[in-house]
Each structure stands twice: as structure tokens, then as C-alpha cells.
Chains A and B, each alone.
Chain A
């Protein structure tokens, strides 16, 4: 009994890692196999292990509660982040299976993928600089390994189609794009390392919590290290004008590595960036430092909105449109920071807003990415015009696509509104203050840049909506059949249902009707978190 109690006290967060490491150990025995049934077995095994890890993550937290030591910490926020990342990993696993089941190195790819997921999970729970930095570099190395394997076409069987693909691949200059992207990642790593070295010199801190306590004594000197660390993250997240390596990689790389980029690489960067929020909160107490940080963040949002917005509207490439659009979505994290610095939200609200934002990416952007990949696969062309008249040619896909985009715009009744209502509230509040003459220059600037961001975001969404209603000539329509497999329809419909259900819950929380089931008021989603604890 005592043994069981001891084991259960360690179940959060070790349980998840046990499942994932078990997957790697089992796959070690099949690493060099090229048999089809072994590939299928590996896929199903890892799928089951991911589901088990997802469940143990939630139940482990219920059994053993919060965990913290000198290196790691795992509380409610980390549990939610891990759950979302595991869900993203599941999607990536399916994408890898769909696009690479013919690859001779499939089992090895899955093993590296598991290492990648373990690294990002360690990053989420890391508290100490050592665990944080090492997990981040391990994540980048694993991501490099998996991207290069996925993009090496010479490794697959030498059929005619493979040869044809190889020529296209070489013409596209994928190797150079991959190399350029990872040299930029290496540059990020070194800038972060240098930033840490200055941080260490200014104040002898080794973890983020200590940073929170000791930063006040070190005062304004901390700014230099912060500037270098923020430039590092600016490069990592590929924000305008540093987006060249990211756009080049995402427009030339193979489909499953783009899913890895969107669903694991960017969330990892956002999560890593958010670990520095305590520094920003403390610096915000100094009004001069606070206003500098606010101006830098506003400049970031403005550049990203203009750079990605204009390019997203102008480009004809489907992959580039999706990449610029995703870049705009990621800018949302900077908006959350702006709201914190400007004093519109508190730190605990920011944590939940960030988690909501991760869910928002998963539920609303994923179906669009799936549909784009499907259309590109069917038409073999990377052109926005290929999705024209989609709504008439394949009604189910068209409607799901429309729901996802309307949700991204923030239409009431859909999940996007649940997230975006916080931003809309803030905009209305600032505007009211402006009308009453209570707004200073900083407030006006915040209002203008928020409007620019949402205008750019909505413009890209509207462009993508309008395209599917433009009718193609009958000859062009007859050339390509958009019909997909049943699994594809089930998947996109699942996401559409998720967007609608979460949207209705969000709407109920806003309208606050007095409806309850089994004594629980359904319009109060906080009750779920209370029960979880």
C-alpha cells in the first residue's frame, strides 16, 4: 500500500514520460524493419501510447496534485499545455503516417518524433534555466533530424513517381531552404545563450522563480539581456522582417514537416517566450521601463500585421498564404502581452488566454490546413485559385472551411468568438475612454495597432472566403475531383463540431443564462477547473 502511495505521488508528471519512453524502447526492436505491417503496428502503438499519456496527464494531476522541484514544476497551467501539445502531437503523428507510410525509414521517423515530443514536454514543465535551455536545444536538434529525414526524397523507393518527385524537389531547392531555416534556429539558440550569460552576470539567478524575486534589485541593467533574448525569440517565431527562413521552409518543405512546424515548433517557441512573463510584470512596475516594453511590443505587432497581412493578401501560393496567416495568428501572443503591460488583464488571466489561444489554433486553423493539404495533393498545384468554387464542388469540405474561417474572424456562436471577445472588449473599452477624453498617446497607439492587427487578420480570412465562392469554368472543374476519403470528412467534421460546441459554451458564458444540469450551471466553465483540482 505504501509502495502504491509512493508511486502515485510521482505520477504527475513522470507518468507521461514513462509512456513515451516505453514507445521508443519498443520501437528500438523494429528500427530497421521496412515491412508494411510493422509500420502500421508502430503507428497504432504510438497512437495508443499518446492517448494513454493524455489520460495519465489529467488523472495523474488529480491523484498527486501539483509537483515542483529545483528543475521542474507542473501545475494546472502546465497540465493544460501538455494536454494540448499531446493533442497536436497526435495530429502530427497522423500526418506523418498519411504522407510517409511508404517511406522505408518510417519507424525511425516515429522514434525521432517521440524524442521531439518528450523534449517539448520537458520544456513545458521546466523551471530552471538549465532544463529550459537544454530541452529547447534538444527539441531543435530532434526537429532538425525529423525535418531532414522527411525531406530526403532519395530515401524512398526508386519508382518512376519517386524519381519525378525527386526532380521537382531538387528544382525547388528544398535542401537550401531547410539549411537556411535551421541556421536561423541555431542563431536563435546562440543569442539565447548569450542573453542568459548576461542575465547570469547581472544577478545570480538560475531559475525563472528566482528571477521574479531578484530582478527588482538588478533594476534597469536587465534591459540589455532582455533585448537580446527578445531578438532571439523574434527570430525564432519568424516575425517580419525576419520571416524569410520560415516562409522559404514552409513553402518548399513536405506537408507533414509543415504540420510539425505549425503544431510543435511555434507552440514550443510561444511557451518558451511566456516563461519570461514574470520579468515583464516586474519591469512593468517601473513606469519608464514598462512604457519602453509596451512600445517594443506594439512595434512587433504592427510590423507583423503589416508584413504578414500585405504578403498574405498579395501572394498566390496556397502554402505561403497559410504560412503568413499562421504568422499573424502567432502574433496574438504578443497582443496578449500588450494587454498585460497596458494593464487590461492580470497575469493569471494571461495564462488562461494563452491556453485558449493554443486551443484556438488547434480547433480553427487545423481544418483549414487539412483542406489546403488535401487540395494541393489532389490538384498537384500550389495556387490559391485551386480552391475557387470549392463550396459548389464539395459541399462538406466547403462548409467546414467556411465555419473555420468565420470562427477565426470571431463570429458569435463559434469558438473564435470565445477567444476574441476579450480583445473586442478591450478595444471597446479603450475607444470609450478615448471618447471621454481619458486616453493618453500610449492608449491611442494601442487602439490603432490593435485595429490594424484585426483588420489584417480579417482581410486574409475574407480573401480566403471570397475565393471559394468564385466560380471556375466547367472544363477546369471537370479536370479535378475534390472528393476525399471518409476518414478525411470525419476528421474535418469533428473539428467543425468542436468549434461550434465550444462556441456555444462561450456564448452561454457571455449571455449567462440560468440553465443547469445535475446541479452544475453549464454557463460556468470555471467549474470544470475547480472539479479538476
Chain B
């Protein structure tokens, strides 16, 4: 039980660092998959070991993962479809997700 929790948490930490420090959107999306997998490991292992796999939590997990994947898919589609400019195809952000320079913060940029 503790091993499963630690394994899930390790996946979460990998995903967290990837999401925070990568500039490439592809890498960020892959990091998000790590967080999703770690959540799934937690949900499914807890439901199997602690609560004898109730149906309600499986419905919750299925619906949630379905919607999260749709959300990711929408973002990827928006980035690669080039709706604003056909050649744009953004694959990399200028900085990491939460980078905030002093000049930008103070509104000088």
C-alpha cells in the first residue's frame, strides 16, 4: 500500500517538475500525462485495496480522465491547426509556464 502511494507520488513529482520547467509544449503535455497516471494509480489502488472497488469511483475516474484528455486534445488542436496563421504552429513557449520577469511584472514589456 505504502509502496503504491510512493510510486504514485514519484510519478507526480516528475510530472510537476516537467510541467514547471520545460518550455516545450510537447514536454509539458507529456508531464501532464505523468500527473494523470499518478492520480489513476492512487484512485485505482485505493479503491481496490481499501474500499473493494466501488462502481461510483470508477465512473468518476472514467468521466474525469475522458474530459481531461478532451481538454488536452483541444489545446493541442488549437496549437497545431494554425487557426490564426497557417505557418504559426506553436510548439514552444518563450519561457516556462510560470516564468515572470521583473520587467514583465512591472508592465514595462
Q: In the complex, are the beta carbons of A186 and B84 less than 8 A apart?
A: no
Q: Which of A199-225 contact B (CB under 8 A)?
A: 200-201, 204, 206
For A311, give its contact among B12, B35, B105 (CB under 8 Å). Answer: B105
Is B70 at the interface (CB under 8 A from chain A)?
yes
For B63, give its contact among A130, A140, A187, A200 (CB under 8 Å). Answer: A130
Q: How far is the CA of A134 from the CA of B75 in the complex (A)?
A: 18
Q: In the complex, are the beta carbons of B32 and A186 less than 8 A apart?
A: yes
With A176-B93, A194-B38 as known contacts, state yes or no: A315 contacts B107, CB within 8 Å: yes
Q: In the complex, are the beta carbons of A200 and B57 less than 8 A apart?
A: yes
With A190-B68, A204-B51 as known contacts, state yes or no: A245 contacts B97, CB within 8 Å: yes
**B104 partner residues in chain A, CB cutoff 8 A:** 244, 247
CB of A360 to closest CB in B, whole Å = 25
Interface stretch, picked from A3-11, A141-149, A427-435, A505-513, is A141-149
Q: How far is the CA of A53 from the CA of B22 in the complex (A)?
A: 45
Band of interface residues on A:
35 or more
CB of B9 to closest CB in A, whole Å = 9
- Residue interface bits A321-347, CB-to-B below 8 A is 1, else 0: 100000000000000000000000000
Is B30 at the interface (CB under 8 A from chain A)?
no
Total number of B residues with any Cβ neighbor in A under 8 Å: 50
Q: How far is the CA of A243 from the CA of B98 in the complex (A)?
A: 8
Q: In the complex, are the beta carbons of B67 and A137 less than 8 A apart?
A: yes
Q: In the complex, are the beta carbons of B35 and A191 less than 8 A apart?
A: yes
Q: In the complex, are the beta carbons of A194 and B12 less than 8 A apart?
A: yes
**A138 partner residues in chain B, CB cutoff 8 A:** 67
Closest to A316 in B: B107
CB of A481 to closest CB in B, whole Å = 27
Closest to A242 in B: B98
Among A153, A189, A206, A307, max chain B CB count under 10 A is at A189
**A495 partner residues in chain B, CB cutoff 8 A:** none
**B93 partner residues in chain A, CB cutoff 8 A:** 176, 179-180
**A176 partner residues in chain B, CB cutoff 8 A:** 90, 93-94
Q: How far is the CA of A374 from the CA of B96 in the complex (A)?
A: 34
Closest to A201 in B: B46
CB of B39 to closest CB in A, whole Å = 4
User: Which residues in B have some Cβ–Cβ distance to A below 8 Å?
Assistant: 5, 8, 12, 15, 19, 25, 28, 32, 35-36, 38-40, 42-43, 46-47, 50-51, 56-57, 59-60, 63-64, 67-68, 70-72, 74-75, 78-79, 83-85, 88, 90, 93-94, 97-100, 104-108
26 A-B Cβ contacts within 8 A?
A134-B67, A138-B67, A169-B84, A174-B84, A176-B94, A179-B90, A180-B97, A182-B75, A186-B72, A190-B15, A190-B35, A193-B35, A194-B35, A197-B8, A197-B40, A197-B42, A200-B47, A201-B42, A235-B98, A241-B98, A242-B98, A245-B98, A314-B106, A314-B107, A315-B106, A315-B107
Beyond A144-B71, A180-B97, A194-B42, list 4 extra A-B contacts (CB 8 Å): A187-B32, A190-B39, A197-B42, A311-B105
